[in-house]
Amino acid sequence: MAESFGRAASVRHGVRAYLLIVAMWVRSTLTYRASFVIMAVGNAAGSGLEFVAILLMFSHIDALGGFGLPEVALLYGASATALGLADLLLGNVERLGSRVRDGTLDVLLVRPAPVYVQVAADRFALRRIGRPLQALAVLGWALTRVQVDWTPGRVVLVVAMLLSGAAIFGAIFTLGAAFQFVAQDAAQVQNSFTYGGNAMLQYPPTVFSRELVRGATFVIPLAFVNWLPALRLLGRDDPLGLPGWVDFLGPVVAAVMCGGAALAWRAGLRGYRSTGS
């Protein structure tokens, strides 16, 4: 009991430190308001352009892989919102490699706050809120257009989808950062799974090869970000023919991923502290 109390206290301590640093960066960002607005709009436009590309595709077709525009928009909105939230809150951990290289990680290690919290919060970029906001707008539009018989349970499913999706992407960001303890120049690799994952999840699973969908379900469980819950919401079968209850496993998968990411991060940091590189 004492240990769990201590853990709760240290979590509270970490969250507090995160909020402190974030608040300071937000304040400093807002002193250059014009620059902030341009960047936030640019950020929203960046992910918005991907949706424009989808719209352009649908100017030539009615369905892609058997999915209509509102359904693809639902997939797009859910995935981009989840990625946007994770990127906003934790995206800065991808700078870990350069911190190891230039030695500024040492500076974080002499401060009385968890290193992970400091890496994630440092240079917090509020402008990144553009992407999740834009994605939420698309998601909102899609939810009004798809044929769904809304029940409280389905509303919970949507909310759980977004939160566990963000957690899964956050775990991947963290795993990528932990990998940079070993390979400092490999920041790009995680992009394959975060931005690349997002680029994949925007489209229906029917578009991709069975092996890819299987890999995205069992190896790197991106399918739980939006595919499985959204297919359930839309009343469609998933292409792998998994049992129905799997569609609800998103939060469980997210928790397992976060646990694994935490272990990887700790191992990476322990390695750093024993080798200094």
On whether the CB atoms of residues 115 and 269 are closer than 8 A, the answer is yes
Q: Compute the distance between CA of residue 119 and CA of residue 103 in angstroms, rounded to an integer.
A: 13
Could you tell me which of 201, 141, 139 has the C-alpha nearest to residue 169? 201
Letters for 74-103 (x = contact with another protein by CB under 8 A, - = none) are ----------------------------xx
Among 6, 8, 155, 196, binds another protein (CB under 8 A): 196
Angle at 81 between CA 140 and CA 65, to 5 degrees: 75
Which residues is 67 bridged to in the sheet? 64
Task: Tell me if 74 sits within 8 A of 143, measured CB to CB.
Answer: yes
Q: Binder to another protein among 11, 38, 155, 252 (CB under 8 A)? A: 38
Does 53 interact with another protein (rule: CB under 8 A)? yes
Counting contacts by CB under 8 A, is residue 228 touching another protein? Answer: no
Q: Which one of residues 109, 155, 252, 267 is an interface residue with another protein (CB under 8 A)?
A: 109
Rounded CA-CA distance 194/172 in Å is: 7
Which token pair is 5?
């109390």
Q: With binding defined as CB under 8 A, does residue 27 bind another protein? A: yes
CB of 96 to another protein, least distance (A): 14
C-beta separation of 179 from 189 below 8 A: yes
Beta carbon of residue 15, minimum distance to another protein (angstroms, whole number): 13
Binding mask 246-275 for another protein (x = CB under 8 A): ------------------------x--xxx
Tokens of 3: 């240990």
Considering all CA atoms of the chain, what is the largest pairwise distance in Å, rounded to the nearest integer?
Answer: 63
Q: Does residue 6 belong to the site contacting another protein (CB under 8 A)?
A: no
- Residue 219 found at the interface with another protein (CB under 8 A): no
Cα(207)–Cα(110) distance, rounded to whole angstroms? 49
| Interface with another protein (CB under 8 A) | 17, 20-21, 24-25, 27-28, 32, 35, 38-39, 42-43, 45-46, 49-50, 52-53, 56-57, 59-61, 63-65, 102-104, 106-107, 109-114, 122-123, 183-189, 191-192, 196, 199-200, 203, 206-209, 212, 270, 273-277
